[in-house]
A and B are shown apart, each in its own frame.
Chain A
Amino acid sequence: MSMRTIGLSFKQNKLLVQLLLLLFILVLFSILSPYFLSVTNFMNVFNQMVEVGLIAIPMTMIVISGAMDLSVGSILGFSAVCMGIAFEHGLNIWASVLVALLAGLLCGAVNGYLIARHRMQAIVVTIGMLVMLRGLVYVLNQGRPISGYPDSFYFLGQQYIAGVPFNAIFLAAVFLLAHFVMKRTRFSTYVYGIGNNEEAVHYSGISVVRTRFILFLLSGLFSAMAGVFLVSRLASAEATSGTNIELDVLTATLIGGTHIFGGRGSLSGTFIGLLIIVFLRNGLNLLGVSVLYQAVILGALLLIAVGNKQFNRGLSR
């Protein structure tokens, strides 16, 4: 088989391999644990994966465009605490949610302004934001968790509709919408284009700055959304929420086959990647496997699943 044909069948192949891996994990744990294969357990897992899943959507797009956003966890924490404080000051809960989303948008805008407009390195800017926002969270509320929201608000994270958690339905809907956007619109062409060849996109008269800016804005918004859902699920906004979530998100994105140097990747892949890591973690928890081995297994999986597929492409840049 020549290199060219591999390249052509690459895309379908990749998705198939991920699906097989997911299936393998599902079958394996069904055999190993009698509790794994049950509706309750699956609904639990869906309920738990929403925050990582929401952030993975813009992260996939950003990685496709050749950048990275490491500040998502801090944006999540920051908006969650902003919401809590707004609520504590007597604001209506849904108005507080709006405050959280605005806070997320603002953080995204700062990222976007520095990275897109001034072409600063995304990694450094977002590391800076990661440290700064997490610090601001402590400034805002002295690290004390904020709780005591009305019951109507817990609908978002704790309610089940026809046996399916509401937040999972929401996630699925958003994923479908985003999938549509990434398949059918010009915006996605720009995103893939920037990831492949930024200058070419620029010279074809498309605003790279605007596209980049929108991406980081989306990332801020989705991180804030994840924050709202997290608070609703846990009934408490704490200063540490979202710490290290960026690693989970990146892992899901990468296992999903998105190429770290940009230009290649898909949301359907990310979705499967997400399912792989959440089911892996859930299954290992059910078996009572210590988290230490879980980390090792996750790392090995990353190397095997992602590494091998990008075999011929490591030096593409």
Chain B
Amino acid sequence: MKRIANIHEAPIVLFTLIVIALFSSLSPDFFQFDNARLILDQNISSFIVAIGMTMVILLGGMDLSVGSVLALTATSVGVFLNHGVHPWIAALLGVCIGVLCGAVNGYFIAMRKIPDIIVTLATMYIFRGIAVGISGGTWMTNFPEGFRYFGQGKLLGMSFPLLVAIVLIAVFIYLMRFTRGGRRIYAIGGNGSAAKLAGISVVRTKFTVYVWTGMLVGIAAVIFASKVGSVQASTAGSSLSFEVMAAVLIGGGSIFGGVGTVAGTMIGVLFMGIVKNGLIISKISPFWVDATTGFLIILAIVINTLQRVRQNKSKEGDLV
């Protein structure tokens, strides 16, 4: 019992379960296989982007530009498709553009050593501007049938995008846990100077993380475009960065870096998705949806912090 309570993610898992129970009692439609699938389906882009955001936050940084990168990638994929590029090639090019955006972020952050938040705030403006620029202000829509596969197709009886998300999550959990690269990220986030003295190349690790993040956002963008069926460059993903950041922190990450896991983040994303879906399914007044969502986010953070304070009490000495 004690061991379970000491798992980092235990409180948030518990809280998620309580919220699920609450919604199930409010609406019979909530606790059903169909709805579970719907929630997963609605949050696939967030799941994928959140993997990257977890790594960034582990480094002690943050990425405000993910929404704009998503818009830029999705828009360019739309442009390629409307010019008759084959869906698979268009998707691949989209991911490449995501990687490129990540490399731009990474270059300024890692090589030029400009703080993350400034770089990503700036690129948030820039990428969004470019996205709307190349879209010419119109919507990207009327995608060819072949492109729909990325968002709606099935593979081995499972939804293709979900499968992609699961594979990515599994791969990154493995990378973060069991490889040297992953441990390096934790080391740098935990104590940058110590990691440097230990011979870890901070520059290279940071750059790599941002490139990976760009790639993940690129993949998410392709799925997003295919699923929603239309892309409006000026608003696509506009609230994504805050939402995903909140999910990482709800899932046990610390904004100061060094703490957090991909698995925890996924629970955070799931939590946010459940809240959004549950509130509508319980037929709550539309005016209350946002207010309740915000309240539940704060509650989740409270629970998380209590856990951390409890765990750290012995280590830190009482600062309060």
Contact = CB atoms under 8 A, between A and B. Distances in A.
Contacts of A250: 121
A260 interface: yes
A312 B60 CA distance: 18
Nearest to B246: A127
Contacts, number: 161
A208 B109 CA distance: 31
Interface in A165-221: 198-199, 202, 208-209
B123 interface: yes
A127 B246 CA distance: 7
Interface residues of A, number: 56
A196 to B, nearest CB: 15
B255 A121 contact: yes
Nearest to B286: A138
Given A260-B115, A314-B114, A299 B255 contact: no
Chief secondary structure at chain B's binding surface: helix
Interface residues of B, number: 51
B203 to A, nearest CB: 9
A267 interface: no
A303 B119 contact: yes
Given A135-B294, A295-B128, A314-B115, A121 B123 contact: no
Contacts of A131: 290, 293-294, 297
B290 A307 contact: no
A118 B294 contact: no
Nearest to A247: B121
B113 interface: yes
B129 A299 contact: yes
Contacts of B289: 135
A296 B62 CA distance: 20
B285 to A, nearest CB: 8
B267 interface: no
Top 5 A-B pairs, shortest CB-CB distance = A132-B294, A135-B290, A314-B113, A135-B291, A299-B125
Interface of B: 60, 62, 108-109, 112-115, 117-119, 121-126, 128-130, 132-133, 192, 202, 242, 245-246, 249-250, 254-256, 285-295, 297-298, 301-302, 305, 309, 319-320
Interface of A: 70, 114, 117-125, 127-136, 138-139, 142-143, 198-199, 202, 208-209, 247, 250-251, 254, 259-261, 292-296, 298-300, 302-303, 306-307, 310-315, 317
